[in-house]
Structure formats: structure tokens, C-alpha cells
Structure 1
């Protein structure tokens, strides 16, 4: 679709068939527009199933107290051709002025507020509470739920098999990821859900869990305490999922994620190329697709996000995962990590596969999943200079 210009409207209708916690945002100069708050959540509730007593959605983000320090110039970054695969020979990515220094984000927020301004989560003793955690920012956040056991019941909208109780472990949520956690309010008091870390804005990312009628002492902060981090690849009951490592696949693709110094600043590459020069994953409907992703960036974390499909995570660093069958649409790769994922080509179109640190995507870390047997009815307006996708 063309960019929606000021004063215009665009109506998109669809049938919500997959329950879960989702997230929508602009892909028009997205690093800039998300920084200004152009995103939201989409909750698809199941038709049936046991209801919880409280259902809270918490959106994590980072902001700059001095936006001038974090100015990002993305003039000329035109990815609008992604939807039809017609790249001009002279199309280039302009990274001039790109600033990837995350220290400029010095205010961490939950639902747009920070610190004491964040509204408490009210509960009553005995209630089942669901927290939908959405990372709309560019940094990973490690969250600690004080005073309670909890279970991770879903990630990226997909349920986990037989989740076990966790206590005093950190849940690391990468950009673009969503985690649904559930706990029973069985420990009256004033507790915290807080971010752990040493960034300047960390102290602002904490929310109180307030039992109704409880007037006891407030919980103590412990954001500097070293706690174990949940390994989601080892979590839940291990059983056979829809894909295996050794089955036959129609398409296999290796995605080598890298960081280089370009002419105008840092660039982020897939197999040594930046979009639109990255080789697409060419498939047809019904194909079984296996992708190996390797993060060869020395220090950069890459949360990779696939549009239009869920994939199963099959292995981590060469070893099969041992937890629940893990279906996701976003997967975080730390430096040096390697994952193998698989998905079925069941949603014809041309789809982005990109890093959800949108600074990295804007500086090149984007490829496409392209269906050979799909022809788009979309024709871009050649005179529309506002189309600056991604």
C-alpha cells in the first residue's frame, strides 16, 4: 500500500482467526515514527477457554528526554518497492546521520509513563492475573515479578505446552516480542514488576502490583540483583511439533547477520548485503522452509521478525531445543548465537523478514520472503515521493 498521507484515511479489513497478543506499527520511516509513538496493541481473545480474573496489557518502550541528541536522518530510504519486488538499479540506502547509540534513550516507560506515574495493577487475593507484555522499543528488557510464581503461557501470541512455575527469574523481552505471563495473586502486599539492568532509564520501568485493601509496606527495588534469565528454548513440556530438524525441506536459506562500517556510518547486513541487495527467500505456496540464522555481529543483538507467518524454533547453537514446541514470529539473537527455524509457506504474498531493532532495519538488515506464484494487485504511485517504507 502507499503511505497514508496527512488528512487521508485507509480502511483495512481482516478476519481475526488466531487468538493472542499482537502489536501494530508504522513501517513508513519506522525508526522515526515509532520513536514518536505510532504503534499500538491488538488483542485477539479466544472464543472459548477459561477466563482470567484480571487481564493487563503492558507496553514497554524507551524515549529520549532530549530528542535533538537522537536525530535520525532517513531521507532517501525508500523501501516501498518491497511489496512488489521491483527495485530500481540506482535505489540506494542513505544512512547519513544514523545514530545507533542506545544511551540516547534515557526514559524507560510502561504504557507511555515512567516511574511513579505508571498506574498500579490492582488485584485481589486468589485472582488469576494475566500480564500481556509487549516490547515496542529498540532494547531488550529483563523483567522481574516480585513475590509470586508465574507461568509463561504464550509468546508472540502462540501458546506454550504445559508451562511450569517460575520464581525470581528474569524474563528477557526483545524488541517486537510479546510474552503472556500468568500468576495467582496469593501473596498480599505491595509488589513490583520491574526491569533489571544498569541503563540510565531502567529505574523508570517498574509497575506496582497493589492488592486491594492492603496497606502494608511497599516492596523494595532490586534492579541491580543478579538473577537467572529464563531460557525459553528449555521451557515447557518437550513434545513433537509440526517440524523436525532432519525432515525434508523444499527451501533452505542461511541468514548471516553482520555489522559493517559503510560510507555514511554503520550498516547492518544479511549475507554481506543491505536491502534491497539482499537475496530474497523465494518460495511457492505449500513449501516447507528451513532458515538458519547466525549472528556474526561482534556486539549487536538482532531480534529477527518474520511478517505473515509463525515459525518453529528447532535448534539453538547446534542443539535441538528441549522445551515446548516453540512457535514465534520474532526471535532474538545475541552475538555469536545460531538458530534454525522452519515454517510452512501458507500465506501467499511478499513479506518482510527484518531486524526489529528498527535502526538496524533502516540501515539494511531486511530481506523478503517472496512467493513465486503470487502476483500483487498493488501498483505504487511513481509520483508519490512520500513512500519511504521500513
Structure 2
């Protein structure tokens, strides 16, 4: 792993061959927060089929909540033919890992008219269940409740907590400064993102946390919040209600973070996200190139790095994820962040949007910076943060074929 012991999604790939049944590795969990881990071997396919889990790193000294629930959001295809079509179209891709000890998601393209259709995903789940099958969240009046929301799917989901004010206390595992209570606003959670919210159970009855949207599976992504020994105030779902979406760039109390827009940076990089037609179908590009031809971000240990991310795709949303580091979001569409310092490792970039982010190169290695819609990563939207003063001690086995794809 990287030198600073970051946790969760930042671990190097763990490869278990056909002749092996078990492998062990260890790391020090030094960064508290809500994380998740998932396959980086044929990840567009394997993560889609559920090969992932959550990793909660609890702080040593923090006020405890009374209830702490982790809720994983995902979406699935009910039509076996649709899934077979997806698998068939992905079968020509080589998702081999890179031989540098730190990188992952090295996914060469053979799109073979991939063109994945999100409408094939018609079952939306929370912790692998949908609709009435989702286990209710039990609370008692007066309790402080934390919900850890993890999006393991390939679509953003807008969640509405009924009947209560709540605070967004952390994003991607990183705390927010003085979060204010909000009510009847939607929290938009993009692929790869995590949000921790807290509320006080002060409105006895049965309430919902539900997804808003128009897709077929939307009404399945809901969970009941049930007060023990209380039966009044039975909630009604209303996924069509027109509610505002929380603007994270203005949320929380402003203070100067580690980085500012006008300070001096050692490395500056512009990441132009786009689409193009390749010889085998649609590809997703960074600065007009697909991985491995994308230009890496070259850094050395201690560098301050500023990255401008611009989504010039006409229709596609790109949740961009950086391995091994947290970055500070400095501006959106030219306007500086006016809320809490916003520290993240995944950032949802809608068509036409522009963000400026900054990070310190403090974790030597070679790290992926990619779209967490893994179909887009598979189709080329990947680059690397490469440390020029780092040399991997990993030597690939020339006889190992486990990472050669199919």
C-alpha cells in the first residue's frame, strides 16, 4: 500500500489465482471514516455482480451515536438476456492490472459496440434488498442516528430523509466543518461516493429514506425508519416530489483549508473529459486520449498539485475518483467553494461542469485517477498519478496468467 497507510479503496490489488483458496494481507487503519473495497479485476463486470464490501474505520476519540447503520446503494438487471448481452459485450476487454504494485483498473478497450444502456438496470437495492425486503432501521425517541451511505453502483441516486432534520457530517470519510441542519432536501450520491448523515430521532412513527427519480427501479430503493413501540405517523412515499438538491459547495461553515485557488502549485493539470467513437464503438477520453495513452500526472513527493476537471461529454456524467489521496474541492464552474472545506476522493462531474481540485503528493506510488462509472473506465477514462521518485518493489511473475483478461 501507499506510505501513509490510507485505508479502504486505496489498497493495492489482491490477486488470488485458481490454485489458491486464501490470501492474507494487513494494513494499519489510520484514516477514520466510511470506505468500501471492491474488485479491480474485470471490475466493470465483477463489481456489477456484487464483489465489494464496506470498511468502517472508527475514530479513537469521538462522541458515539446511539445507532450506526451502513446502507449500500446499488442497481441490478432483472432480465437475464440483458445481463448476458452486457457480459458478451464486455468479454472482449482486457482488464489486466498494471505491474507496478500500486495501480489498478488498467482496463484496455475492446468496446465491441458496448454502449451500455442504464435502462437495463431496473432493480434498485439497499444492502442487496429492494422495496419491502429491505430491513427497517430501528430507532428510539431521543437517539442520535448515523446513516453511512455508500454508492456501489453505476448511477447517482438522490435520497430524501422524511420527517427529520439531518446534518451531513462527512463525505468520502472526511468530516465537514459545522454542518447545519437541513430538511426536505435531496442528497445526491454518485458512484463511489460516501456520505455520512446524522439525525435526532425526535418524531415518533414510521418514516422513509427513499430515492427520488423516474427510472423503473427507483421505488425499490427505500428503507423504513421505525420507532420502537411507536405506531403513529405512518409515512407515505412521494418519490416524485420536487425537492432541491443539497449544494455541497455551499454547505457547512467556511474556513480556509489546506489549499487555495491562488497559491503556488508545483504541478497543474487539466483533465478534459470527453467521448468519441473508436474503431470498436464508443470510448471515453481524457484530453482526447484513452488509457493507456492518456498523459499521466507526474509528481514527486511533497508536490502541491492542482487539477482542473472539465466535463465536455454531451450527455455523460463522470464521477472521478483518485486513488491513494484526498483532494480539496476549490471551485465549481469558476465560483470558489463558500462552505466547509470539501475534502473528497470522488467527485461527480455533470456535463458542462468544471471543477478545480488540489491535493498534496504525500503517498508515493503509482495511482489511478479514473471515472467510477466503471464502464467508462473500461472504455478509456483512466489516467495515473505517477511519482517520479518512486520505484515499485513488485516483480511480475512472467508465468502468471491470472491478470491477462479473457
**TM-score (norm. length: structure 2):** 0.92
Corresponding residue number in structure 1 for 2:247: 231
Counterpart in the other structure of 2:379: 363
Structure 2 residue aligned with 1:3: 15
Q: In the aligned structure 2, how far is the partner of 1:273 from the partner of 1:380?
A: 27
Match of 1:15 among 16, 19, 28: 28
Q: Is the 8 A contact 1:62 1:137 kept in 2?
A: yes
Q: Which residue of 1 aligns with 2:402?
A: 386
- CA deviations 1:329-386 (Å, max 9, x no partner) are 0000000000000000000000000000000001100000000010001122233333
Question: What is the Cα deviation at residue 53 of structure 1?
Answer: 0.3
1:52 match: 65
- Specify which of 96, 101, 120 is matched with residue 136 of structure 2: 120
Q: Secondary structure at the match of 1:266?
A: strand
Q: Say which of 335, 349, 362 aligns to 1:346.
A: 362
Please give the secondary structure, in 2, of the residue aligned with 1:286.
coil
Answering whether residue 272 of structure 2 is matched by residue 256 of structure 1, we say yes
Matched, 1:265 2:277: no
Q: Who is 1:77 aligned against?
A: 94
Q: Secondary structure at the match of 1:194?
A: strand
* 8 Å CA contact 1:140, 1:174 repeated in 2: yes
Q: 2:78 aligns with which of 57, 61, 65?
A: 65
Q: Which residue of the partner structure matches residue 276 of structure 1? A: 292
SS class of match (2:47): helix
**Residues of 2 paired with 1:51 and 1:303: CA distance?**
31
Query: Residue 44 of structure 2 aligns to a residue in which SS?
Result: helix
Report the CA distance between 1:388 and its aligned residue.
Answer: 5.0
The alignment partner of 1:336 has SS state of coil
Alignment of 1:1-390 (within 5 A): 3-6=15-18, 7-70=20-83, 71-72=86-87, 73-81=90-98, 83=100, 93-216=109-232, 218-387=234-403
CA distance, structure 2, for counterparts of residue 272 and residue 102 of structure 1: 24
Change (3 A) 1:92 1:351: closer
Note the aligned Cα RMSD (angstroms): 1.6
Structure 2: how far apart are the matches of 1:81 and 1:327? 28
Where does structure 2 lack aligned partners over 5 or more consecutive residues? Answer: 1-12
Q: Residue 216 of structure 1: CA displacement? A: 2.5
- The Cα of 1:8 is off from its aligned counterpart by 3.4
With over 3 angstroms needed to count, the CA separation of the structure-2 counterparts of 1:4 and 1:49, relative to structure 1, is: same
Structure 1 unmatched ranges of 5 or more? none
